[in-house]
């Protein structure tokens, strides 16, 4: 799996990662969704045991191996000036034009599979 990250999106993601260690996790959240789920980016301290790497240039990206079915093999991640979220797409569809990043590194003992966090 590959995510082609635009230079502007890469700079914004690196800024959010900061000097602290962490991983970006592409996550397909279905909790509380009335229809299909939504794509989100999580920043986590550690990989989960079922996470596999995503090729994304210099950015550390992972995805749960069971969630790969929700996405095509080659994705594009873009951002725009003065807009706080990202656009995730492929050559054939848009997964989200308002994809948000949630930094969970400061939440103790929480993994992306946990029910102790929610998207706001």
pLDDT at 70 over 70: yes
For the chain, the domains span 2-103
Tens-digit pLDDT profile for residues 101-119: 999 998 855 555 554 544 4
CATH 2.60.300.12 fits 2-103, yes or no: yes
CA–CA separation, 75 and 11 (whole Å):
18
- Closest to 118 in 3D by CA, of 40, 49, 60: 40
Q: Supply the pLDDT for residue 120.
A: 45
Tens-digit pLDDT profile for residues 32-49: 655 678 899 999 999 889
| DSSP helix/strand/coil, 14 | helix
CA–CA separation, 110 and 107 (whole Å):
6
- Closest to 56 in 3D by CA, of 38, 37, 73: 73
pTM of the model: 0.84
Evaluate whether 102 touches 119 at the Cβ level (below 8 Å). Answer: yes
Provide, for the chain, the percentages of residues in helix, strand and coil under a 3-state DSSP scheme, each rounded to the nearest 5: 10, 40, 50
């Amino acid at each position: 799996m590959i995510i082609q990250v635009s230079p502007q999106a890469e700079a914004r993601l690196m800024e959010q990662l900061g000097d602290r260690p962490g991983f970006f996790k592409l996550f397909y959240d279905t909790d509380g969704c009335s229809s299909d789920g939504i794509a989100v980016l999580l920043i986590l301290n550690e990989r989960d045991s079922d996470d596999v790497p995503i090729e994304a240039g210099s950015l550390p990206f992972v995805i749960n191996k069971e969630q790969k079915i929700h996405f095509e093999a080659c994705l594009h991640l873009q951002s725009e000036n003065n807009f706080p979220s990202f656009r995730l797409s492929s050559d054939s569809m848009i997964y989200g034009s308002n994809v948000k990043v949630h930094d969970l590194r400061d939440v103790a003992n929480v993994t992306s599979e946990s029910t102790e966090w929610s998207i706001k």
